[in-house]
Amino acid sequence: MHLIDRLALRTEQLLNALMVLALVAMILLVFVNVVLRYGFGSGISVSVELSRFLFVWVTFLGAVEALLNHRHLSVTLGVERLPLPVQRGLLRLVTLTMLGCSLMLVVGAYKQTLLNWDNLSPISEIPFGVFYLAGLVAGVLMSIVLTYRLFVPAGPRVEPPAPE
């Protein structure tokens, strides 16, 4: 397995672990809050805000993981009937377009992160810039993957090594 493939596999494993931790935290926060609210008449006030922050992060990290594994939405109905060299050219054009969108996400999320870093959420006092930081991190990671795919169109496709 090449260095890039190992790096992509480790990145995917890290993203999956972070998403699992965030989902477990969201489930626990909401469950405990519901039990406290209906059982004891009080709840954890920050649980709604923390769940919202975690949901945004899970969404963006999931988008990166989907891109790593070629699970993003694609329409290949007409492309499959074209000659192979034309398919490769279109694949590079689509990858370049996706890279442009990812770079716009990076720029926009960076600006929004800076603009909103001093604005604190009312209950947890976490900066609202953390929402936009998720987009910045996802945009950077997606841009790295797509830049690599421009030069090596077949990879990296994250797949665990075959058992021997």
Instruction: Kindly state whether residue 77 falls inside one of the protein's structural domains.
Output: no
Instruction: Kindly state whether residue 161 falls inside one of the protein's structural domains.
Output: no
List the domain range (segments joined by +) for residue 41.
Answer: 3-72+82-151
Q: pLDDT tens digit string along 14-53?
A: 999 999 999 999 999 999 989 988 888 888 888 888 999 9
Instruction: Quote the number of domains for the chain.
Output: 1
Instruction: Kindly state whether residue 160 falls inside one of the protein's structural domains.
Output: no
Q: How much is the pTM?
A: 0.83
Instruction: Kindly state whether residue 158 falls inside one of the protein's structural domains.
Output: no
Instruction: Kindly state whether residue 46 falls inside one of the protein's structural domains.
Output: yes
Instruction: Kindly state whether residue 156 falls inside one of the protein's structural domains.
Output: no
DSSP 92-157: HHHHHHHHHHHHHHHHHHHHHHHHHTTPBPTTT--BTHHHHHHHHHHHHHHHHHHHHHHHSTT---
Q: Which residues contact 19 (CB under 8 A, 6 or more apart)?
A: 58, 61, 62, 65
Instruction: Kindly state whether residue 163 falls inside one of the protein's structural domains.
Output: no
Q: pLDDT tens digit string along 66-125?
A: 998 888 888 778 888 888 888 888 889 999 999 999 999 999 999 999 999 999 988 889
